[in-house]
Amino acid sequence: MKLRLHQFLSKTGHFASKQAVKQAVWAGEVTVNGSIIKDIAFQFKVAKKEVAYKGQVLRLPSEDRTFLLNKPTGVICSRLNPQERSLGKRSVFEMFRDSVTPTEYERLVTVGRLDEDTSGLLLVTTSGALVHRIASPETQVAKVYCVTTASPVSEEQRLRLEDGLDIELEVNGEVEMYRTRPAKVKIVNPCITSLSLSEGKKRQVRRMFAALGHEVVALERTAIGGLDLAEYNLERGEFVDVSEDNVEGVVLQG
C-alpha cells in the first residue's frame, strides 16, 4: 500500500490534528527509513519503509488477523497440492476455515514452518510484514524445542549441541555439510532435552540429534522469543486470536 506521508501520519492516531501532522513534518521531526522528510506529500510503500516521529517508530492500526496455534502432528504448514490431497494429507490452514472470512483464509500464511511430525507453537497470520519481521534470518529470534529421544543424551553431547556441530543438509538435490550456530541446551531428563536455536534450517533439530546418533521420537516447539506456548493453555489443535503488535513485541523482546 502506497500512501502520502501526511496520510500515513494521520492514520496512526498519534497526532491530534492534521495541522499537528504538518508541523511535525515541517519541523524535521519525522523520518522515513532514517532520513528526515519535510515534504508532507512524500509517497512511499508502507510495508517497505519505517516511519518514526522523534525516534519513535509509528505503524498503522492493524487490519490483519494473527493466530497462535498449538499445532498437532499430522498436518503440514503449506497449502495442499493435488498429490498431497490424493495422499490424504491435511493442511494447517484448514483448521481456520470456519474462523475467518474467505478473503482472510486465502491470505493466511505461517510465520516459519513446523514439519508434519512436529507439534507446538505456530503463528498463523494475514500480515506479510509480521512474517518478515519475525522470521527474517537477520532478526535471529530464538525458538525453543522440547526434544524427546529414544536414547539418553550425555553431558558430552549436550556440550557439542551448545558449541555447534556439523550436520548434513540437502541443497538443490545435493548433500552439503553445515555447521550449526551455538545453541542453549538443557537436559530435562536423560531422554528429554530443551534446545534453543536462533536459526531454522530444514529439519535442523532432527539432523542435529541424528549427528549424535540419536533418534528423535517426539519434537515440540514451546517458545518463539518471549512467546511461551505454556502461557496460553491450549490443547493440540486449539488456537487463539492475538494482537499482531503484542505478539511482535513479546517475540522480539525475548
Identify the pLDDT of residue 94. 95
Question: Does CATH place domain 143-224 in 2.40.340.10?
Answer: no
pLDDT digits (tens, 9 = 90+) for 92-143: 999 999 988 888 899 999 999 999 999 999 999 998 888 888 888 778 899 9
- Asked if the domains 66-138+226-253 and 143-224 are classified in one and the same CATH topology, the answer is yes
CB–CB of 24/53 below 8 Å? Answer: yes
Amino acid letter, 233: N
Torsion of CA 22, 26, 29, 33, to 10 degrees: 90
- Specify the amino acid at residue 230: A
List of the chain residues with pLDDT < 70:
1, 62, 244-245, 252-254
pLDDT of residue 254: 55
Cell 532478526 found at: 139
pLDDT for residue 253? 62
Confidence (pLDDT) at 1: 61
Q: Is 115 a catalytic residue?
A: yes
pLDDT value for 245: 65
Of 39, 64, 98, 115, which one is the catalytic site residue? 115
Enumerate the domain spans of the chain: 2-58, 66-138+226-253, 143-224
Q: pTM (2 decimals)? A: 0.74
Instruction: State the DSSP code for 17.
Output: S
Is it true that domain 66-138+226-253 has CATH number 3.30.70.580?
Answer: yes
Q: Which CATH superfamily is domain 2-58 in?
A: RNA-binding S4 domain (3.10.290.10)
CA–CA distances in Å: residue 201 to residues 70, 78, 167, 169, 242: 21, 17, 10, 8, 27
C-alpha–C-alpha distance, residues 226 and 222, integer Å: 11
